[in-house]
Structure 1
Amino acid sequence: MKKAILQVALDLLELKRAVQIAKEAISGGADWIEAGTPLIKSEGMQAIRALREQFPNTVLVADMKIADTGSMEVEMAAKAGANIICILADADDAVIAEAVRSSRLYGTKLMADLINVPDPVSRARALEAIGVDIIAAHVGIDQQMIGKDSLELLKTLQGEIHIPVAVAGGLNAATACDAVHHGADIVIIGGWIVRSADITGSTELIRHSMDSSSLKAPEKKGLDEEIQSLLMQVSTPNISDAMHRKGALPGLVSLCGDVKMAGKAVTVHTIAGDWAKPVEAIEIAECGTVLVINNDACVNVAPWGELATLSCLKKGIAGVVIDGAVRDIDDIRAMKFPLFARAIVPNAGEPKGFGEINAEIQCCGQYIHPGDWIVGDESGVVVIPRERAYEIARRALEVKKTEARIREEIRRGSTLSAVSELIKWEKK
């Protein structure tokens, strides 16, 4: 198998952090370093100049995402020290041709990014004819969040063009080897490396994956299984951040402490401690789901206790959320079951049968529908609309990775204010 190039994309806002991450990535086996578009927009051509000064012998890619003034933008990046300059593949042919001419003049190469191109194969052939040096099969971050796959895009290009092909978008140690198997000459990795607490170690894993002839990415899970797996890896604060500070169910407390749940909602509406519908819902709920019970925020009478919890535990229900009160908490805590409620009270209600199961309900001020995803941990409970569950789970994992890198930099002696450059980014 051919030796592919590992390009690390520095998609950050802070130049000082980018330089340090680049150093650690190169020590782990990275071949090329990319000044990502966010870094260039944040720091301008100084980002390219600083990286060139720090790494005089490393191939430096400038992800300019050129859409117009091809000659001018190639010239500025080339003079700043870039070896390879990125242009949008869907730019007008006149822009592409002018960028190619400028690239030849300044001794650089041009990489065309296929992001959002409706017919990537035809466009790649046309770009090769115009004189582009490298084609990038790129699925952008927001597209990845809704399930689009860079490897699938890469596969469509196999055997269609005769210039090097790069692949970018959501790749990791499990998929980098597959990228090389499917014809990638250049594997571009961003978040999986630059958001890692161990940049060097993560880069080494990618390098090993790319160089291996035996590694293979694991088979894809079913959608619900994938969503549940992702949500169990992140915290409710990660999810809230991914949803722009939305989705929280305020007032709920984890009554069994350090427990975690993630599952699709089975909704229950009951009234003032009537425990008939909550208990009936256990029979309807499938393994891995979460019961969400609206008790009209009543905290004087409990519609839930130890026997109902034991029934859930035996059936494999992932957890229970109650906008109201719970009793028998000593027995429930011994089970370590994910149970979230507003209060604890010894009073039980009566099984009168008022209410509904699997209808839209309100819980702690949020509307919840059957099938919405519910996640709970010691920080609280959040609801994710079912139609956005995969996207939000992916975004939450990116939040977690970003925090992991920041945490490592703080451990090394920085502070949150310094890492985030708060003064620079305060709203003017």
Structure 2
Amino acid sequence: MKKAVLQVALDLLELKRALQIAQESLDGGADWIEAGTPLIKSEGMTAIRAIRDQFPGSVIVADMKIADTGAIEVEMAAKAGANIVCILADADDSVIAEAVRASRLYGTRLMADLINVADPVSRACQLESMGVDIICAHVGIDQQMIGKKSIDLLTTLSDQVHVTLAVAGGIDATTAGQAIHCGADIVIVGGWIVRSANVTESTRLIRVEMDAPSLLQMEKRSRDEEIRALLMQVSSPNVTDAMHRKGAMQDLISISGNVKMVGKAVTVQTVAGDWAKPVEAIDLAQKQDVIVINNDGCTHIAPWGELATLSCVSKGISGVVIDGAVRDVDDIRAIKFPLFAKAVVPNAGEPKGFGEINSEIRCCGQQVSPGDWIIGDESGVVVIPAVRAYEVARRALEVRKTEERIREEIRRGSTLSEVSELIKWEKR
């Protein structure tokens, strides 16, 4: 079987960083280097020229995502040093035809990207008949965040077209081999490599899996299990970044310090330290849920203490959030239970039974509905609306990956300002 090609997509904004990552990925076994669309938009044809100058013997892919003026944009990329130029598969047929003619004139190949195409199989067959050299089964990052998979798209194409097939979008060391089994000739990897703290090793792992793909099936998990597993890998700051600085609760303290909780909200409305409904909620909660209590911000009477906490431990509850006060914190800290509150007081209320369980509440400045996802750690607590939980969890993981690479570059002697090119990107 012909060896599959590993293409690394440099989807960054900064050319200096892209060139360093390109070198590290080639050291790890990458075959082709792609000037990603963000890099081309940021640096223009200078990016392609710089990659060609630094890697004269490598195949360079220019992800132009051409939608119009096919001949002009192919010419631009080809003259800058690209061997392969990418066009949007849903561009008008006249644009495709012009791009094909230009690619023949300038000695490049044309790759058509099927991102967002309504009928990808039919369109791929049309593109093949029009002379496109490579068809790319691509699910974009925003689509990945809501659960769509490029491997599924690749599978629908593998028996329908006869030109070279590429796959892109969310490919990592666990899915690279699967892509080969599903018919990919070219495996395009972006974030899993370029955001890695160790680009060379991450590339090597992909290369190994591509060269000897395993047949192991990934364990099937429910959507809730997937969300939980993703959120356990990220921090509350990662999540707020993924939500565009939204969702963070206000004025909370992690009573047990460096602990973490992730779970679906069981909401409680109570007043003036009345601890009946908060305690009753323990019996209604499921394993790994988070109990979220609105005590109307009352901080001189506690609706929660050690005995309620022990009950949570026995039920396997993930944590508790209180818009109000807590007591018995020495005992709670001793068992390292994730509990977040506004204040600590010794006073307990009475179990009068006022309030509600599993109604929509407002807690620490955030609306919380039953079933919303809650993540809490020493940096704070964030509410994720249930309808967006999978998407936000996926985006938070991307945030974490980006930070890993930046952290590594700072360790090598750069600064955050230098890595981010802050002066260039300040708002004008």
**Which residue does 2:408 correspond to in 1?**
408
2:361 aligns to what? 361
**Residue of structure 2 equivalent to 1:394:** 394
How far apart, in 2, do the equivalents of 1:16 and 1:419 lie? 9
Partners of 1:178 and 1:217 within 8 A in 2: no
Q: Secondary structure at the match of 2:7?
A: strand
* Alpha-carbon distance between aligned partners in 1 of 2:203 and 2:360, rounded to the nearest angstrom: 47
| Alignment partner, residue 115 of structure 1 | 115
Q: Which residue of 2 aligns with 1:334?
A: 334
Secondary structure of 2:214's counterpart equals coil
SS of the aligned residue for 1:94 comes to helix
Q: What does residue range 298-317 of structure 1 map to in structure 2 within 5 Å?
A: 298-317=298-317
* Structure 2 CA distance for aligned equivalents of residues 271 and 2 of structure 1: 70
2: CA distance, partners of 1:193 / 1:254: 35
1:292 maps onto 2:303 in alignment = no
Distance in 2 (alpha carbons) for counterparts of 1:35 and 1:390: 30
1:255 is matched with: 255
For 2:272, the equivalent position in structure 1 comes to 272
| 2:125 corresponds to | 125
Counterpart contact for 2:289–2:319, Cα < 8 Å: yes
Relative to 1, partners in 2 of residues 1:414 and 1:215: Cα closer, same or farther, differing over 3 Å?
Answer: farther
Contact 2:180 2:213 in 1 (8 A): no
- Residue of structure 1 in register with 2:69 after alignment: 69
CA distance in 1, matches of 2:276, 2:81: 71
Looking at structure 2, the residues matched to 2 and 286 of structure 1 have their Cα atoms a distance apart, in angstroms, of 51
Partner letter of residue 295 of structure 2? N
CA contact (8 A) 2:230 2:394 kept: yes
Aligned equivalents of 1:153 and 1:216: distance in 2? Answer: 20
CA distance in 2, matches of 1:164, 1:219: 30
| Shift, 1:219, TM fit | 2.4
* AA of the residue aligned to 2:35: A
Identity %: 76
Number of equivalenced pairs: 428
- Report the secondary structure of 1:165's partner residue: strand
Matched AA of 1:404: E
Task: Could you list the structure 1 runs, at least 4 aligned residues long, displaced by more than 3 angstroms after superposition.
Answer: none
In structure 1, the partner of 2:143 is 143
CA distance, structure 2, for counterparts of residue 217 and residue 340 of structure 1: 39
Partner of 1:199: 199
1:84–1:108 contact (8 Å) kept in structure 2: yes
- 3-state SS of paired residue (1:349): coil
How far apart in 1 are the matches of 2:2 and 2:280? Answer: 60
What is the CA-CA distance between 1:250 and the residue it aligns to?
A: 1.0
Could you tell me which amino acid in structure 2 is paired with residue 277 of structure 1? K
Distance 2:2 2:154 in 1: 16
Counterpart for residue 281 of structure 2: 281
- Paired with 2:151 and 2:253, the residues of 1 have a C-alpha distance of 42
Deviations 1:176-223 (A, max 9, x none): 000000000000000000000000000000001111143535223110
Whether contact under 8 Å (1:177, 1:217) holds in the other structure is no
Distance across 1 between alignment mates of 2:346 and 2:190: 53
Q: Structure 1 residues 244, 207: closer, same or farther in 2, change over 3 A?
A: same
* 1:369 aligned partner, one-letter code: S
Q: Could you list the per-position Cα deviations for residues 347-384 of structure 1 after superposition, in whole angstroms to 9, with x for gaps in the alignment?
A: 00000000000000000111100000000000000000
CA distance in 1, matches of 2:351, 2:49: 73
C-alpha distance after superposition, 1:11-51 (max 9, x if no partner): 00000000000000000000000000000000000000000
Displacement after TM superposition at 1:107 (Å): 0.3
Q: Which amino acid aligns with 1:401?
A: K
Distance in 2 separating the partners of 1:216 and 1:9: 26
What letter matches 2:192 in structure 1? W
Secondary structure of the residue aligned to 2:244 is coil
Q: What amino acid sits opposite 1:408 in the alignment?
A: E
Contact 1:175/1:216 (8 A) holds in 2: no
Corresponding residue number in structure 1 for 2:171:
171
**Match of 1:348, SS?**
coil
Q: Which amino acid aligns with 1:172?
A: D
TM-score (norm 1): 0.99
Q: 1: CA distance between counterparts of 2:211 and 2:298?
A: 61
Q: In the alignment, residue 76 of structure 2 is paired with which amino acid?
A: M
Q: Distance in 2 between matches of 1:245 and 1:77?
A: 37
Contact (CA 8 Å) 1:197, 1:408: kept in 2 or not?
A: yes
What is the one-letter code of the residue matched to 2:26? I
- Answering whether residue 88 of structure 2 is matched by residue 88 of structure 1, we say yes
Structure 1 SS opposite 2:127: helix
Report what 1:377 is aligned to.
Answer: 377
Name 2:99's counterpart in structure 1.
Answer: 99
> 1:182 and 2:182 equivalent?
yes
Gaps of 5+ in 2: none
Aligned ranges for residues 36-55 of structure 1 at < 5 Å? Answer: 36-55=36-55
Separation in structure 2 between the aligned mates of residue 214 and residue 171 of structure 1, nearest angstrom? 15
Residue 265 of structure 1: SS of its match in structure 2? strand
Which amino acid letter does the alignment assign opposite residue 295 of structure 1? N
For residue 105 of structure 1, what is the amino acid of its counterpart?
A: L
- 1:158 partner amino acid: S
User: Which residue type is aligned with residue 249 of structure 1?
Assistant: M
- Are the equivalent residues in 2 in contact too, given 1:324–1:342 (CA < 8 A)? yes
CA contact (8 A) 1:175 1:217 kept: no
Residue aligned with 2:399, SS = helix
Letter in 1 for 2:200: T
1:178 and 1:216 in contact (8 A); partners too = no
CA–CA distance in structure 2, aligned partners of residues 245 and 402 of structure 1: 17
Q: Is 1:216 the equivalent of 2:219? A: no
Looking at structure 2, the residues matched to 262 and 330 of structure 1 have their Cα atoms a distance apart, in angstroms, of 23
Q: Which amino acid aligns with 1:373?
A: W
Match of 2:134 in 1: 134
For 1:98, give the aligned amino acid. E
Deviation string for 1:125-155 (max 9, x for gaps)? 0000000000000000000001000000000
